[in-house]
Structure 1
Amino acid sequence: MRRRMPGVSQEEDTPDPLKVESSKYKTPSTGLGKLSHTLRLDAVYLFFQEIRGHSVVEEKKVAILGDMRSACYVSLLHILPTTASITLLVLNWKGYYIGDELQGPVGQDGLRFLGLQFASKMLELLAVASLSTILFALIRSLLIYDTLPFGAMTTGFEFNNISLLWSKEFVATCGATTFSSSRTKILLVSTIVVFTILGATIGPSAAVASQPVLRNWPGGGTVFWLNATSQELWPSHLDGVGLPDLPCISSQNASCVPPNYSLLAMEMLSFWPSPSSVSADGGTVPRLMPEKASISGRYSVHTLEARFIGPFVYHPHLTSATTPSAAVADALSQVARYWNNANTHQCYVGKTCFHYYNDISYTVNALQPLTFVRCSASDINATIQFPRLDQGIEKYPLVNYSSTTIGSQQWFDAATSNGSNPGLSWVELPAADFGRASVGAAVALPGTKTKTGEEGGQILACTIDARWANATAAISFLGGPMIVSGTPALWLGGAQYQLDSTGLPLWPQVTIAPAWAESISSIVTDSSESVFTSLCNSIGRLGNVSKAVSPINAVEAILAVMITDGLARTSSLATILGSLKGLDNGEWIHEFLPKDTVFGTGGSAFNYTYQQGDQSTKFESRTAVNGYGYGITAAPLLSTLVLFIYSLIATIYVVHSLCFAKMTSSSWKSITELVALAANSTPSSVLKNTGAGIATLGILKQPVKIGVIDNRLQMVFDDREDADEIKQNEYYG
């Protein structure tokens, strides 16, 4: 029989199993255990404790920790998502250029984008956990030091579900009148709303903000001046011989028109469809022809674009043609070469530059010629009728042209050299009869011989409407260096009929004197043919425009490209004023590229300053680099705004926790812990008949707090007044 020590009772001698177990195994209280608990990694910590054979039993715990170390542990949960969010904010707001591919091995962008998607998902999960911690801190504070509507107790688990905003719990919280102050109610309700919206949007926002965008990024440019006035570059009236050195005597003269007529003939007009009777396909293949031709200038090539009425699969309202002005195209080409040299230099010396790219485009906004043409046919010796083009789309009434000469047999024979070649006479069209018209053209087409006999000649009366239209001239590296192209917006949609606030055409019209029009169709000395005749003979490679399909539309095409090319060469000898700034110190390099930012416009790279009375015109070129990068566009702007709001909230909470509150708690952070608290609480009459569910808002509006009763933490409703407040660093069961 075991003896008792003197003075020790039987009850004291019997060991308490709970005490024995407690003496061997402790609830996590080490720094690592607290850190794991704070970072919600309890499962990992407890798993390793089980592996080591350390079973842990539940002991009393501190509900409110009032030490700086615990507050620092809680702050760790917010550092990573906040840092990642701020990094994305800086990348997008300040800008960062990557290149034609993401950084890393070539051709592996798919894997890199997948990695960014995973990273953004991790940011979402961490940010939601961070928001959950902040919301729990607010709810826990109200439960301990104030009261909270019963329906708001679980909002910390549901805020990342947008349906919370129309749930009965949230409605009850908004309608509750038991808050200690309206300020507390506003704080709680607004926090729930903001956090719910953030919980629903922070995921897609992180995904968008983390993905580099493939787009044209602003890469600089410069202001420059041409030594010609706007009236000289885009005259409203052309009288006499407007182009220098006409008639042409040398094909090497860049200001001469005829060197380009062969380009227009070969690249465009020679592809006019042939008659189906002699076509190899028997007329079964849809008819198409080139809509672009390259026009040579002094320092560049500008692209002439056209749309023709005719036997084609497309049907514009009017035959139209447009091309950038030669002077503007030459200047833009020169500026593009300067920018390329500046960017190459910056890359060579290791400074910020655009090293890799998919494409580079250089643009300048300027007026450019746009010509519309429509013709009507009549017999010889009949009254010819010109279409009127100022009445609107598809409204082209014919108006008689009173002339005793044009249209007669005598005029026809003289114009066609007795029926051997097409002829052309330019005429003025009075505004009183023909409205707004630039110039008229009377075209004599000789007859043709067919199997059934000889068809007589005809006369075409063509009205020409020439405009200076707003457009953007552009050079694309992939589209060909030094090749300038551009078209006005809606140039095929009737925009020429739009008026400005003063009632004048939005696109100024050009009045063309017959003498100027005659000068662009001068005699080419090497063939003794006019430009017009040579272009007519090039139609469809037939040698005779009268044999072409729809000869009237072919003539419209010829007139449109002739007038457009001629207008584009007004003041074609204009050049950039001034020299490059600081050739010795490279000042011009920094003027061409964005200043103090990754993306943006440039400055002024030429040392010319406009003085009052100078005969010059100002332009601004802009460079855009196509590649991947981070920057502010519509979608990233909204996404970074969401990340900014989250970062601001998390930063304020961390600062408040470390500098002011200096306390923290991680109790009741899961539904299981909240259920355990409810199970340990004394049943309340307030919750009568709610065991199978809650059907009214009144129950959800009931104020509840957590207090101490019988040395245990319990949920306390208004029917209990014997609860004590929770104290810091006190252990509770």
Structure 2
Amino acid sequence: MLDWKSYGGLEGRKPVIHSRKSAVCCCLVHIIPLFVSGVLLYFNLKRRFIGSELEGQQNKDSLKLSVLQVCAKAQELAIVASTTTILLELIRYELMYGNGLPLGLLASAFSYSQVRHMVTAACSWFITPDFWGSLVVCGKPDTGWGKFRSIGLIVLLVVCGFIAVLAGPAAAILMLPTVVDWPVGGVIYWINGTNEQLWPQRLTADSLLGYGCDNQNAQLYDPRCPSAGFPSLYQHFSNWRGSPITDSWAWTSHGPTASTLNVAADLHNHYQEQLLADGKLPSPLTKNIAWASSKSFTVSSKVPAVRVKCTPGITGFTLGQPLSIPFVSQPEYYYINSRENNLTMSYFNVTEAVASKFEDVARVHDLTTLSVLDIFAQPFVLPQNFGSNSIGLIVLTLDDARNLSGNARACSIDARWVNGTSSILDKKMSSKYSYGADQGSAVVNAMIAKGKEFGSGLGFIHPKDDGTWQSIKIDPSWFALLAPQVSASILTDPLHQATTLPNRTTLESLLTLFRPTTDIPGILNLPGAPPPEDEPDRTTLESIIASYVADGISRTGSQINLNYASLMSPISYRNNTISDRNRKAMVRYGGPALSFDPSDALAQGNKPPMVMHTTISGYAMGLDEANDYVWVLVLLLHALLALLHAIWVWRSREGVSQAWGSITELVSLALTSTATQGQGLENTCGGIEKISTMKLVARIEAVTSRATPANQGLEQLQLRVTQGYTQLPSTTNAQKGVAYGNL
């Protein structure tokens, strides 16, 4: 130990002591890293959610994380100091009381955690001659116990090197909280109807299952009618500037899924608040979950996705004359771009379909007084094997209203059921469900389950060829429900010119937002009419049709779910007092558990199960990834070594020494030791390169003045180097209680 009382003079003799007090002091180096590791393991294994900010002064997260990084570095240094102490103790033991150790291991306690320069590159100590030379003679001592110790020391060095390399990352990763999505349960529930009723692959008028959408009020405002999305979409597209994206995929949440998700989210919020107020949150959940930056509710289901491809050009027509126009055959499993030479098209005779459309118009209006501002849309059934198309659509505009002549454009509609997710994101203020109106107020977002088949560009989506993109065939009878005739007086024409038609379909009202691709005589001089454009017009047309069809399909199945709240009536807090067990099945760490029997809530169907997963976002500590357990292993390995070292030092009979704890002390020992000739150390004054040199065996030997010639070593403890392990008499070992120094 350092003697602060004397600044001059010679060193005194150093006794070999056997003291439990010294043993305890030797092990103090383990206390701090073991304590910190224990705290880190406790919080990470138990898991702890902190909240939107780290605990302490607000808006100081950067400073707090910086301090934690410094603490993690200090923990790394403490662990390395601890393992170095263990290695030094074993090296001293082998030098003083064992059979010695290879020359390459003499300074290994100072080098195992370092990077050394080897000729042209930096490398680990474990690929230097020091280590490999020592490995050659590993297990060569004569005694069985000596062989075990020599092998054990090599293994210990490798383990300590592993710990030294990973101690820093382990401390940092386990100490620094990260922003994660923490699973806090959810709700398992069921929806009325079979899979075919909820997600049919053929849509007809019968798909409404007898639900009435016959009057205009229901058609526009009853959410269970296919056309009810028209008012909101009309307002949206009235202010939409269009997009250059040439792939028009549009998707939205499935109506019954979105509505029941609102109910389940409200129930989860309510029971979380109850358990929080009662202090009954299941471990590891604490009151901190109320401090999350956001909370999301997600359910996996099928969602409707629709794309539309219209022909690049238009075809002139005159009513009463034969008319054939081209339709695009959309590929099933990849996207198509806007270049015409990449499109596969076929011509179909649409004369009867166009005539049928104007016959319908003639029933409510005089055809001779039609306006060039009017746009007409007529569904057209395409052949079953014509690409991936659900139904065709003919879009008609007039350039000569009196002669009923104009331009026709064909659009192919491709509708699918796709695996996806519907989710609600709550930030701070949770949304409440209106049980009186049976309607939620939270916005439900839909996402398609994407894979490697999807392009990276926005809008360019490759349908996956895995059976999850199920085509939907649309019958004209269902299309009539999607686009019913409504009074034109309920809306203001976006061109600021009132239409001459007293009634038109909802889809045609949306298409008034579409600008024709060719000049229409007289239209450019009308007040407020924008000039016609080319490609953006077509992409806008495709987006409008795709969005409207997807919205209509999303309402499928809602006609047999007339009260969404009743589907979860067994766990409704409005009518029941449910048990803590059921509450904790919904609010818990991880995924949800079953909280009620669906048989009493469902009226019909094969009970398709829906699983709502709830997550909160914020800082948290825990083992979320498989590689996190590697960091736990590092800390546990160090703890095991420290414990074994403490036991060994406590029970050691040969004494505890603090000698040769630095490179300086080792150099001093070598300088005062007797030089030996012919033992393999020739030509080593400028460095060592040979593995054969590193495998020489070093040992500390106690000598007396009688055994030492006057012209040799002057110290009682000598560093000896031999060609191999030799069994020396016990009289050469340092003796307990003897103070060693100059002869």
Q: CA deviation at 1:425?
A: 2.1
Pairing 1:623–2:614 present: yes
Q: Distance in 1 between matches of 2:73 and 2:375?
A: 73
Q: Distance in 2 between matches of 1:98 and 1:226?
A: 36
Q: Distance in 2 between matches of 1:62 and 1:102?
A: 53
Q: 1:651 aligns with which of 635, 643, 655?
A: 643
Q: CA deviation at 1:103?
A: 0.7
Aligned to 2:325: 384
Q: CA deviation at 1:373?
A: 0.8
Q: 1:403 to 1:111 in 2, by over 3 A?
A: closer
Q: CA deviation at 1:641?
A: 3.2
Any stretches of 5+ residues in structure 1 without a counterpart?
1-36, 274-288, 290-311
Aligned to 2:710: none
Aligned to 2:136: 175
Aligned to 2:229: 260
Q: Distance in 2 between matches of 1:608 and 1:367?
A: 21
Aligned to 2:68: 116
Q: Distance in 2 between matches of 1:542 and 1:164?
A: 84
Q: 1:516 to 1:612 in 2, by over 3 A?
A: closer
Q: 1:688 aligns with which of 679, 682, 688?
A: 682
The answer as to whether partners of 2:335 and 2:461 remain within 8 angstroms in 1 is no
Aligned 1:402-551 pairs, distance under 5 A? 402-407=349-354, 418=367, 419-420=370-371, 421-432=374-385, 434-447=386-399, 457-478=406-427, 481=431, 482-490=442-450, 493=455, 497-500=463-466, 505-525=467-487, 527=490, 528-539=503-514, 550-551=536-537
Aligned to 1:61: 14
Q: 1:465 to 1:258 in 2, by over 3 A?
A: closer
Q: 1:258 to 1:661 in 2, by over 3 A?
A: farther
Q: Distance in 2 between matches of 1:360 and 1:443?
A: 44
Pairing 1:107–2:59 present: yes
Q: Distance in 2 between matches of 1:655 and 1:614?
A: 68
SS in 1 for 2:207: coil
The answer as to whether partners of 1:386 and 1:461 remain within 8 angstroms in 2 is yes
Q: CA deviation at 1:411?
A: 5.1
Aligned residue-pair number: 632
Q: CA deviation at 1:681?
A: 1.6
The answer as to whether partners of 1:361 and 1:476 remain within 8 angstroms in 2 is yes
Q: Distance in 2 between matches of 1:613 and 1:363?
A: 25
Per-residue displacement from partner, 1:669-714 (whole Å, max 9, x unpaired)?
1112212222232112223343333343322211111121117221
Quick one: percent identity of the two aligned structures? 25
Per-residue displacement from partner, 1:615-674 (whole Å, max 9, x unpaired)?
311011111111111011346444333223222322332234336779533221111221
Per-residue displacement from partner, 1:373-402 (whole Å, max 9, x unpaired)?
112232214312211112643353111224
Shifted more, 468-477 versus 253-262: the winner is: 253-262
SS in 1 for 2:352: coil
> What is the TM-score when the length of structure 2 is the normalising length?
0.78
Q: Distance in 1 between matches of 2:184 and 2:39?
A: 23
Q: CA deviation at 1:239?
A: 1.7
Q: Distance in 1 between matches of 2:613 and 2:636?
A: 31
Q: Distance in 2 between matches of 1:522 and 1:360?
A: 39
Q: 2:204 aligns with which of 239, 264, 284?
A: 239
Q: 1:95 aligns with which of 28, 47, 51?
A: 47
Q: Distance in 2 between matches of 1:95 and 1:334?
A: 29
SS in 2 for 1:625: strand
Q: CA deviation at 1:123?
A: 1.0
The answer as to whether partners of 1:164 and 1:196 remain within 8 angstroms in 2 is no
Q: 1:218 to 1:88 in 2, by over 3 A?
A: same
The answer as to whether partners of 1:228 and 1:616 remain within 8 angstroms in 2 is yes
Q: Distance in 2 between matches of 1:103 and 1:623?
A: 24
Q: 1:345 aligns with which of 267, 270, 274?
A: 274
Pairing 1:669–2:661 present: yes
The answer as to whether partners of 1:537 and 1:544 remain within 8 angstroms in 2 is no
The answer as to whether partners of 2:673 and 2:718 remain within 8 angstroms in 1 is yes
The answer as to whether partners of 1:374 and 1:463 remain within 8 angstroms in 2 is yes
Q: Distance in 1 between matches of 2:648 and 2:615?
A: 45
The answer as to whether partners of 2:482 and 2:552 remain within 8 angstroms in 1 is yes
Aligned to 2:552: 566
Aligned 1:150-161 pairs, distance under 5 A? 150-161=103-114
Q: Distance in 2 between matches of 1:695 and 1:256?
A: 86
Q: CA deviation at 1:258?
A: 4.3
Shifted more, 673-682 versus 605-614: the winner is: 605-614
Aligned-residue Cα RMSD (Å) equals 3.3
Aligned to 2:577: 583
Aligned to 1:7: none
Q: 1:473 to 1:659 in 2, by over 3 A?
A: farther
Q: 1:669 to 1:646 in 2, by over 3 A?
A: same
- The AA in structure 1 aligned to 2:303 is Q
> What is the TM-score when the length of structure 1 is the normalising length?
0.79
Q: 1:399 aligns with which of 342, 346, 358?
A: 346
Q: CA deviation at 1:74?
A: 2.0
Q: Distance in 2 between matches of 1:454 and 1:682?
A: 122
Aligned to 2:238: 270
SS in 2 for 1:368: strand
Pairing 1:707–2:701 present: yes
Q: CA deviation at 1:343?
A: 2.2
Any stretches of 5+ residues in structure 2 without a counterpart?
116-123, 337-341, 432-441, 491-502, 516-525, 706-715
SS in 2 for 1:602: coil
Q: CA deviation at 1:356?
A: 0.6
SS in 1 for 2:688: coil
Per-residue displacement from partner, 1:410-445 (whole Å, max 9, x unpaired)?
75575596344322222221223x133211222222
